[in-house]
A and B are shown apart, each in its own frame.
Chain A
Amino acid sequence: QVQLVQSGTEVKNRGASVKVSCKASGYMFGSNGISWARQAPGQGLEWVGWISPHNGDTKYAEKFQGRVTMTTDISTNTAYMELRTLRSDDTAVYYCARVFGVDHFDSWGQGTLVVVSS
């Protein structure tokens, strides 16, 4: 079965960077895009961006342009999301999700809590 397993909780200082990993199994990694979304405490879901493991194409939400980089490693079936210049309002649970078809997410990772402390 499709499974996405994310890295563990991160605690970072303001201005630092964080890199979250998402290891996929149970399907051909290159066949589906990977999207990242986040959820601040008590808030709704917010899309961060998308990457194609097949060719490395990326799309980022405008508010994260310049601060986020998404990459994949086909050899280990792992996707990564790096967010730089962290601010307090970046404190959230970050999710990776497999893109099915063109535009929706049929499997999600368990989430990675990123805490930005001042």
Chain B
Amino acid sequence: SYVLTQPPSVSVAPGQTAKITCEGNNIGSKSVHWYQQKPGQAPVLVVFDDSDRPSGIPERFSGSNSGNTATLTLSRVEAGDEAAYYCQLWDSNTDHHVLFGGGTKLTVL
């Protein structure tokens, strides 16, 4: 079955750039979406269709997807960006239909 692999944790200093990856076989051929989840809160969509941003999401959040890796990039990281980030896709070829990556905890140093 299809698997999405994310690093468990990423650390970055304020003002720097954080890159969170999501690996899957030929993931570049699929649409990938990203969610931010802060402790005790529901997830929030931050990037959809690889690189589009919902209204209200800062331009500092961007996404890309090619080959076997999709990437969420956070520029000029702020303390408030500290959260878990999940990639997600819909794969009609699997019984799971919807897959989530295991999540990456972003720590702002």
Contact = CB atoms under 8 A, between A and B. Distances in A.
Interface of A: 35, 37, 44-47, 50, 59, 61-62, 95, 97, 100-106, 108-111
B41 to A, nearest CB: 8
Contact of B95 (A37, A61, A105): A61
Residue in B37, B95, B97 whose Cβ sees the most chain A Cβ within 10 Å:
B97
Interface string B20-35: 0000000000010101
B109 interface: no
B95 A108 contact: no
* Interface residue SS majority, chain A: strand
Interface string B73-109: 0000000000010101110000111111111000000
Interface of B: 31, 33, 35, 37, 42-45, 48-49, 54, 84, 86, 88-90, 95-103
Given A61-B97, A62-B95, A104 B90 contact: yes
